[in-house]
Amino acid sequence: MLGWIRNLVSAAASGLATATHPGTTPATPSSNYALTPTGALNWIGAHPIPTGSVIDSVDAAKLLLRQLGITPFTSTIGACTDLTFPLAVGGAVHGPYTPGIGDLTIQFPPHVGPRVDLNAVRKGEVLYGFVPTGIIDESTNKSGMRVAWLNLDTLQGDIGEPMGGFTDTILDAVKKRAAEARIPRDVINGIIDSMLKPALNRIPQAGVRGGLVDTGPGTVLSAIYGTVQRSNATCLFAPSLGITAAR
């Protein structure tokens, strides 16, 4: 099955040539790596993401976001009930894009079928990321962080878009795309298990959040704010602010 999955994605990659996302040249795979399981893992090896259990500085948090293809916002600070004050940073990236892979567009059936967009982030959408420092453990409840956004071109917006675990956000979005396109479950599971999970599993999980928002195309002002539940404390974070050009 893995060989067939590799052929499937390689067929799509022949038309892609590169998984580089506009405006994220340091953080995305170069044209030296085809969109295959081996290529994805080679790129991870060449651009290592911090694998420790805790992000210990704002610089490390920004590095993690950039390596995921996410442009960092302003830094911010949290206040916790255990009297600690962790720093944090949010960020965003527009679609089409899938962190850890680049452009997840496949041809199905292989060689003869249409090109299918399975990207976690599609055109007109924005993926938000949030990385706090010093979070060693957290509760199973990953809710609490929110996104407030305003599209200056359409004057559409919201003040409470929910965020969740970053890895869950990406995997759920890709599975949703596959279900909508009626891609067989064994095909999409093969892609996820061989390409996407190895990239996302290298991301520190404690406190890291993701949120997918349909902002529509335009210049989007955003603020990421809210709470992160730790095992023995709750941390309230002031807004991390930024501007994203959604396409």
- The predicted-structure confidence for 183-241, as pLDDT tens digits, reads as follows 888 888 888 888 888 888 878 888 899 999 999 999 999 999 999 998 889 999 999 99
Q: How many domains does the chain have?
A: 1
Report the candidate in 105, 107, 100 with the shortest Cα–Cα distance to residue 123: 105
Beta carbons within 10 angstroms of residue 217's beta carbon: 15
Using DSSP, state whether 66 is helix, strand or coil: helix
What are phi and psi for residue 141, nearest 5 degrees?
Answer: -85, 110
Residue 107: beta bridge partners? 115
Q: How far apart are the C-alpha atoms of 91 and 122, rounded to whole Å?
A: 17
pTM of the model: 0.80
Tell me: the pLDDT tens digits for 102-151? 888 887 777 777 888 999 999 999 999 999 998 877 777 888 999 999 99
Contact 155, 215 (CB under 8 A): no
Between strands 105-107 and 115-117, the pairing is antiparallel
Work out the number of other CB atoms within 10 angstroms of the CB of residue 83.
7
Q: How confident is the model at residue 25 (pLDDT cuts 50, 70, 90)?
A: very low
Contact 236, 88 (CB under 8 A): no
Amino acid at 45: G
* Domain assignment of residue 219, given as a range: 2-246
Q: 7: helix, coil or strand?
A: helix
Q: Is residue 67 classed exposed, middle or buried when 0-12, 13-18 and 19+ CB atoms within 10 A define those classes?
A: buried
